[in-house]
Amino acid sequence: MNIGLNRKEAQVYYALLQLGQSSAQAVAQKAGLKRPTTYLILGELMQRSLVLKVPKLRKQMFIAKSPRAFVAAAEERLQATKAMLPALEAATKAQEKVRTLYFEGVSGIREALFYRIPEFAGTEINAFFGNSKAASDALNQVFHEWNAKVFQVGATIRSIVPKAPFLEQFRKQDTAYNFLSKIVPPDLYTSRCSIDITPFFVRVILFKEEQAVIIESPDAARAMKEIFEMVYRQE
């Protein structure tokens, strides 16, 4: 499935690899699929050069192409695509505009939080975290999942947070994940939303309303990071 096959295609291809030269009926039995479905999938795999039909036989027989050969062909296509990247990026930048993305609901905020997260490896996320007591239990669970994922991809978080009993569970995560948080007295900072600053965009999350906005602009991210640093360095 990692090479782009759906589950049934993967079942048929893997069954044929195990069987060697075989009939569609034998492949269907091995893959645990119906014969008509297997015929259709074999045809699709032939179009993708993963399966070959054995010629000059009265009975239709099929054989799986070597996965090594298929991967080699995929790598050639990838290299050809990489060679085109400069021209493609130049065309994109010519029309580049700031993108604003809007998300709603717990599932939407989860999507916003995990947006481009693999690209955060080795980077630092800065944040003005709010008191998420006003957020639902489901939303707070998403925040915990996001913290774990940030740590997993090898990123760090340095944040400014309000002092609040409810947030102690998050401060315990800071210790486990080696995140740094500057705790601010509640009479100075009572935010009920979060502003996350990544190298690529700024993200605002409203807890009670369950809405999120991403402003995808390195310039906006840089400006917010400078504001964050000014506040963070104050005693």
Same domain, 140 and 200: yes
User: What are the structure tokens assigned to 14, written together?
Assistant: 């893997």
What CATH number should be reported for the domain holding residue 112? 3.30.870.10
Among 179, 166, 174, 171, which Cα is nearest to 207's? 166
Same domain, 104 and 218: yes
What is the chain's pLDDT, residue by residue, as a tens digit (235 residues)?
A: 777 788 899 899 999 999 988 899 999 999 999 999 999 999 888 888 888 888 777 788 999 888 887 777 778 777 887 787 777 766 665 555 778 999 999 999 999 999 999 989 999 999 999 888 888 989 989 999 999 999 999 999 999 988 888 888 788 888 888 889 898 888 888 888 999 999 889 999 999 899 999 999 889 999 999 999 998 888 6
User: What are the structure tokens assigned to 69, written together?
Assistant: 């050969």
Same domain, 204 and 156: yes
Same domain, 174 and 132: yes
Contact between residue 112 and residue 103 where contact means Cβ atoms under 8 Å apart? yes
Range of the domain at 14: 7-67
Same domain, 62 and 109: no
Predicted pLDDT of residue 188: 85
Kindly write down the DSSP assignment for every residue of 54-123, as one continuous string.
PSS-SS--EEEPPHHHHHHHHHHHHHHHHHHHHHHHHHHHHT---EEEEEEHHHHHHHHHTTTGGGGTT-
Identify the three-state secondary structure at position 201. Answer: coil
Predicted pLDDT of residue 90: 67
Same domain, 184 and 118: yes
Contact between residue 50 and residue 93 where contact means Cβ atoms under 8 Å apart? no
Residue 18 falls inside a structural domain = yes
Predicted pLDDT of residue 170: 86
Predicted pLDDT of residue 132: 87
Phi, psi (degrees; rounded to nearest 5) at 191: -55, 140
Kindly write down the DSSP assignment for every residue of 119-157, as one continuous string.
GGTT-EEEEE---GGGS-HHHHHHHHHHHHHHHHTT-EE
Same domain, 218 and 158: yes
Among 110, 109, 126, 104, which Cα is nearest to 181's? 126
Q: What CA–CA distance (Å, rounded) separates 164 from 130?
A: 10
CA dihedral 169, 173, 176, 179 (to 10 degrees): -140
User: How many folded domains does the chain comprise?
Assistant: 2
**In this predicted model, what pLDDT tens digit does every residue of 108-132 receive, in sequence order?**
999 999 999 998 999 999 999 988 8
Q: What is the pTM of this model?
A: 0.58
Residue 173 falls inside a structural domain = yes
Same domain, 53 and 109: no
Predicted pLDDT of residue 89: 66
Identify the three-state secondary structure at position 32. Answer: coil
DSSP letter (8 states) at residue 178: T
